[in-house]
Every structure is written in structure tokens, then in C-alpha cells.
Copies of this chain bind each other. A is one copy, B any other.
């Protein structure tokens, strides 16, 4: 079976898990503690990042864009779901996926996931320790702006990239689900974004993510409620 090396709160790992589930492809999950720099894993990906996909034929695909590009191309003959065929629409999907998984990842998600959750499980000599509250404060300020932007986009569209659900919705929902697990999203004053997130989160592909728990970190009560 295909194996996905991943981390439970990593936004890009969640994105790939959602896409695999949407494409109906079963996968074996391996939690990869990248800070341990395991030799066998570095042989797969010298950059020591997740997600990494390894297929039955030992094809190794590294990183969210390559993995999802690969899955989309493999499933294209069945009409790959969630990627439009029009070139302009595809460009818009890619812009938003990069926004969620590069820009927002760098400004917000990676910081809060690392400081609030991952550092607890990392030995001090490998970079663990108490959270950097100054970095967290900046990330939280940044999150406000990203949530504003999601609301701005959804003011004129049913889904982030247009009239249909696409990979862009899965990428942003993946990142927000990690932040929501950590109790970092103030949904109260975000009604448009909240309704959109509730629609994505209600999909069967989302259920396994919402059921999963990370050791030592308890999500807020609404986290796994599709009608929150």
C-alpha cells in the first residue's frame, strides 16, 4: 500500500491526506518525527520535511505540490476531482494552494504548530523547549489578516477558487484545521469563513482528521463538530 510520511498537525500533510481521501485512495500513515533526522527518511527526502509519499512501486514523491500534482495526474483520466480543466482556473487554484501552504504556513501555521504542539515532544537538544511567545504573538496577528482575506474572497465566491470546491479549499481547510485544533481560530466574528469551513469539514474525507488526537494537546469542543 502507498505510505504517507507525515505529521498530524502539519498543514501540508493534512492537505495531502484530504486529497488522497477525496480521490478514494487508501494510504498507510507513518508519523515521521523529522527532528530526529532518521537516516532512512533522509534517504527519501534530504530536506527532512513532510509530507513524503511512497508508492507500491517505490516511487517517492516529496512535498505537497509534487504529491498533489502527481495524484491529480494519475487520476486525471477519471476526471481528477477538485482541479478545473480551464488553464486560468487552474492558475487561480494554484495561487490559493501556495497562499495556504507557503505564505500562511510561513507567517502563521508552522509557527503556531511548532511552538504550541510539536516542541512539547521534541527533546531539548533537538530544538524542543518552552514556546517562543513573541513568535506566537506575531503569528496570531498575521492569522487575523489571512482570515480577513479568506472572508474577502468568499464575499464574491461560493468556494475559494470559484463556483466549485477545488484543491484550494482543501489546502486552506487543512491549514485552518490545524490552527483550529490548537484553539487559535476565533470563529465568532468570521461568519462567512465559518460557514465555508463547516461545508469543507463536513465532507467524509475530513472525518479521519477530526477524529485523530495529538498526544498532550486537547482541541476545543467545537473542533470535531461539523455543525459547530
Give me the interface of A with B, judged by CB distance under 8 Å.
46-47, 49, 59, 61-63, 65-67, 69-70, 73-74, 87-88, 90-92, 94-95, 98-99, 102-103, 106, 149, 152
Contacts of A98 in B (CB 8 A): 63, 65-66
Contacts A66-B95, A69-B90, A73-B90 supplied; 4 other A-B pairs, CB < 8 Å: A47-B103, A65-B65, A70-B87, A102-B102
Contacts of A74 in B (CB 8 A): 87
Q: Are A149 and B46 in contact (CB under 8 A)?
A: yes
Contacts of A152 in B (CB 8 A): 46
A103 to B102, CA, bound (A): 10
Q: Are A99 and B69 in contact (CB under 8 A)?
A: no
Kindly list the 5 A-B residue pairs having the minimum CB-CB distance in the complex, ordered from nearest. A66-B94, A61-B91, A70-B91, A66-B91, A62-B95
Beta-carbon nearest neighbor of A152 in chain B: B46
Contacts of A103 in B (CB 8 A): 47, 49
In the complex, what's the smallest C-beta–C-beta distance from A63 to chain B, in angstroms?
A: 5
Q: Which of B69, B87, B106 contacts A91 (CB 8 A)?
A: B69
Contacts of A47 in B (CB 8 A): 99, 103
- A90-B70 contact, Cβ under 8 Å, with A65-B98, A95-B62: yes
Q: Are A63 and B95 in contact (CB under 8 A)?
A: yes
Q: Are A65 and B94 in contact (CB under 8 A)?
A: yes
Contacts of A70 in B (CB 8 A): 87-88, 90-91
Contacts of A90 in B (CB 8 A): 69-70, 73
Contacts of A69 in B (CB 8 A): 90-91, 94
